[in-house]
Amino acid sequence: MYWKSMTALALATRTAALLRFSCTQLTIDRVDPLVNPGLSPSPHLHQIIGGNSFNITMDPAKDMPAESACTTCQFVEDSSNYWTAVLFFRARNGTYKRVPIVPNVGFPGAEGGMTVYYMQNGLADYQQNSKVTAFKPGFRMIIGDPLTHTAADANRFRQVTYTCLQDPGTRFPETKNLPNKPCPSGIMANIRFPTCWDGKNLDTHNHMDHMAYPANGTFDSRGPCPESHPVPVPQLMYEVVWDTRQFNHPEDWPEDGSQPFDTEASE
């Protein structure tokens, strides 16, 4: 993500807020201003949403999202950019096809895109009254690593999960791995970013070290932030819905039971 400002999120102690909004697709392109600034094409294909000042290079000193004239997000105040790598299906015969992204249930009319959440507590916690500090202009972070596919690596990002959609409204269970069998209504990726900030850096060389998960428990269980990253920030979460229906024929899936879908990082 590339943070500008979220005027709708007032973060005084007494404010209770859960923001949930839809952002339609800005573009799908081989660009990544965080990992590969200035490089076009970048190694990975991304779906990008948010402000229209998005570019292959985004100088953090310039607060570029502030230069956006419009945004694909429902809240015009939010000209941040958010992006995720796209998912591909590898058929048994070796062909690759990009999996279409579809709007989430409840947001008809949106083209692809994602649902974005900013939360002060877990999704099911109606109080939403924990004290969190707003992201500062120019803030950026990444979660996930497109180069690794082992369970240990996946566990570094403990709150990136998947839901096998039996119907568009399915919300549980969430699994750490992509579903190992076809899902009737597609797959939802639930991408929760870390919620503890070092309080100093808007970004770091790997775009991750300024952020950490709670020292124990989770954001949802109100686990405390570690001493190294003492400042709680809102839980940023994306939901991305992949329409896998055209790939649900068992005869197209790998015979060895391996995963036919491949996904990459979110930023």
Ligand X SMILES: *[C@@H]1O[C@H](CO)[C@@H](O)[C@H](O)[C@H]1NC(C)=O
Q: Does 170 bind ligand X (CB under 6 A)?
A: no
For residues 129 and 16, is the Cβ–Cβ distance under 8 A? yes
Q: How far is the CB of 170 from ligand X (least distance, A)?
A: 25
Indicate whether 254 belongs to the interface with ligand X (CB under 6 A): no
User: E-assigned strands of the chain?
Assistant: 18-23, 25-29, 46-50, 81-85, 88-90, 96-98, 101-102, 114-119, 160-164, 174-175, 187-192, 196-197, 211-212, 231-232, 235-242, 261-262
Complex with ligand X: residue 20 or 245, whichever CB lies closer: 245
Q: Which two tokens stand for residue 28?
A: 């799908």
DSSP letter for 185, please.
Answer: T
Shortest CB 196 distance to ligand X, Å:
13
Q: Using the minimum distance from each CB to ligand X, give the nearer residue, 55 or 128.
A: 55
Could you say which of 77, 224, 228, 254 contacts ligand X (CB under 6 A)? 224
Instruction: Show the binding pattern over residues 30-49: x = contacts ligand X (CB under 6 A), - = does not.
Output: --------x-----------
> Cβ 73 to ligand X, closest distance in Å?
19
Report which of 223, 164, 123 is spatially closest to residue 115, judged by C-alpha positions. Answer: 123
φ, ψ of residue 66 to 5 degrees: the values are -65, -20
CB of 144 to ligand X, least distance (A): 25
Total residues contacting ligand X (rule CB under 6 A)?
12
Q: Using the minimum distance from each CB to ligand X, give the nearer residue, 62 or 149.
A: 62
Q: Which residues contact 63 (CB under 8 A, 6 or more apart)?
A: 4, 137, 138
Report d(CA 177, CA 163) in Å as an integer.
9
Per CB under 6 A, does 216 bind ligand X?
yes
- Burial, 232: exposed, middle or buried (Cβ in 10 Å; 0-12, 13-18, 19+)? buried
Beta carbon nearer to ligand X, 168 or 226: 226
| Residue at token pair 């429902």 | 74
CB of 40 vs ligand X, minimal distance in Å: 8
**Cβ nearer to ligand X, comparing 25 with 55:** 55
Q: Are 191 and 143 in contact (CB under 8 A)?
A: yes
Complex with ligand X: residue 38 or 106, whichever CB lies closer: 38
Which of 167/256 has CB closer to ligand X? 256
Q: Count the neighbouring beta carbons within 10 Å of the beta carbon of residue 74.
A: 17
| Per-residue mark of binding to ligand X, 61-100 (x: CB under 6 A) | ------------------------------x-x-x-----
Sign of CA dihedral 230, 119, 81, 173: positive
Distance CA 8, CA 96 (A): 41
Which residues ranging from 48 to 67 are in contact with ligand X (CB under 6 A)?
55-57
CB closer to ligand X out of 49 and 110: 49
Interface ranges with ligand X (CB under 6 A): 38, 55-57, 91, 93, 95, 215-217, 224, 252
